Chain A
Amino acid sequence: MLLRAGDAAVLLAGAGLVVALTLYAWGGAQGDTAVIRAAGRVVETTSLAHPRLFSVNGPLGTTQIEIQPGRARIARDPSPRQLCVKQGWLTQSGQAALCLPNQVSLEIRGHTTAYDTLGY
């Protein structure tokens, strides 16, 4: 018999410790607010509570931002490489998607922010 009852308990406790450490060290805070900027100026600050759609105009055209409960993303953007669209859904406080050619950005904020300020 390789494992005794106590061994299983120790293994479970160890696994629990690893999971707790992972969540503690790597899990960020959930965001609850989306900040939308165009050309550096805040055009919209909205809660992540209700699904909404925003359209923001930039030099290249219109960027569409989609808000759903607990998350937000850039749904459409006229930029050639679509980097901010490919970032997908943002959920954690401090995450941001930048559509540089169109000068639109989407940032998630929560009670605790990972950074004091982000310059870009």
Chain B
Amino acid sequence: MTHSVIELPVSDADRRIARLAALAIGLTLAEAALPSPVPGVKPGLANIVILLVLLQHGWRTAAWVSGLRVLAGGLLLGSLFAPGFWLSSAGALVSLTVLALARHLPSRHFGPVSLSVLAAFGHIGGQLALVGVWLLPGAALIKLLPVFAAAALVFGTVNGLIVTRMLAAPAPDRRQSAPCTLP
């Protein structure tokens, strides 16, 4: 009987994705503890991480981090495969699609705020589309559209400004992008 060992080589990119995803998951959990005046209106703090990853490591890494965040966030919050999880997935999917297109905008004129606002609208658009098609077909969603759109505009702007500040600030502690020394 042969003794077989399956080895999965872990690359630096894998470690980076895991580390950034952990950051995004942490923000997702922290945000779930925040009370919200309107159900469904959330600041979307994890999108700060996604946006930073997109701008520093490219779209593929951002997609990985976003997908892992949705999956692990669902696991940790106990909403895996529940409606909230699918809403999250739909939002993340559309928002990533929007970002894939929007990151080709000339960066001379369009900074992180543009990307963040567009991604926020994508997020809410994806979620509402899923709600309208699958969860609550025929409900008077139109009356809620202005609330969600305004929330997307406000939180998208704030998140974008945070990303701009973080990119502009000199980082004294570069641990986040240094090679991981763990075995």
Q: Which residues of A contact B (CB under 8 A)?
A: 2-7, 10-11, 14-15, 17-18, 21-22, 24-26
Cβ contacts A to B, 16 pairs, < 8 Å: A2-B164, A4-B109, A4-B114, A5-B109, A10-B114, A10-B118, A11-B113, A11-B117, A11-B157, A14-B153, A18-B149, A21-B149, A24-B142, A25-B143, A25-B146, A26-B146
| 6 other A-B residue contacts (CB within 8 Å) besides A2-B165, A24-B142, A25-B144 | A4-B109, A4-B111, A6-B109, A7-B110, A11-B113, A26-B143
Tell me whether B110 and A4 are in contact (CB under 8 A): yes
9 closest Cβ pairs, A-B complex = A6-B109, A6-B110, A22-B146, A7-B113, A10-B114, A14-B153, A4-B111, A21-B146, A18-B149
> How distant is A3 from chain B, measured CB to nearest CB, in Å?
6
Contact of B161 among A2, A5, A25 (CB under 8 A): A2
Tell me whether B113 and A17 are in contact (CB under 8 A): no
Count of inter-chain pairs, beta carbons less than 8 A = 63
Tell me whether B150 and A18 are in contact (CB under 8 A): yes
Tell me whether A17 and B149 are in contact (CB under 8 A): yes
Tell me whether B110 and A18 are in contact (CB under 8 A): no
Tell me whether A4 and B157 are in contact (CB under 8 A): no
Which B residues are in CB contact (< 8 Å) with A22?
A: 146, 150
Instruction: Find residues 83-118 in chain B having any chain A CB closer than 8 Å to their own CB.
Output: 105-106, 108-111, 113-114, 117-118
Proximity bits, B150-167, A CB within 8 Å = 1, else 0: 101100110011001100
> How distant is B154 from chain A, measured CB to nearest CB, in Å?
9
Tell me whether A14 and B146 are in contact (CB under 8 A): no
What is the interface residue range for chain B against chain A? 20 to 34
> How distant is B128 from chain A, measured CB to nearest CB, in Å?
11
Tell me whether B143 and A6 are in contact (CB under 8 A): no
Please measure, in the bound complex, the distance between the C-alpha atom of A21 and the C-alpha atom of B141, giving whole angstroms. Answer: 12
> How distant is A62 from chain B, measured CB to nearest CB, in Å?
39
B133 at the interface (CB under 8 A from A): no
Please measure, in the bound complex, the distance between the C-alpha atom of A87 and the C-alpha atom of B156, giving whole angstroms. Answer: 38
Tell me whether A14 and B156 are in contact (CB under 8 A): yes
Please measure, in the bound complex, the distance between the C-alpha atom of A4 and the C-alpha atom of B110, giving whole angstroms. Answer: 6
Instruction: Find residues 20-36 in chain B having any chain A CB closer than 8 Å to their own CB.
Output: none
> How distant is A111 from chain B, measured CB to nearest CB, in Å?
20
> How distant is A36 from chain B, measured CB to nearest CB, in Å?
30
Tell me whether B108 and A10 are in contact (CB under 8 A): no
Q: B143 — nearest CB in chain A belongs to which residue? A: A25
Which B residues are in CB contact (< 8 Å) with A21?
A: 145-146, 149
> How distant is A5 from chain B, measured CB to nearest CB, in Å?
5
User: With A11-B157, A14-B117, A15-B153 as given contacts, are A4 and B146 in contact (CB-CB < 8 Å)?
Assistant: no
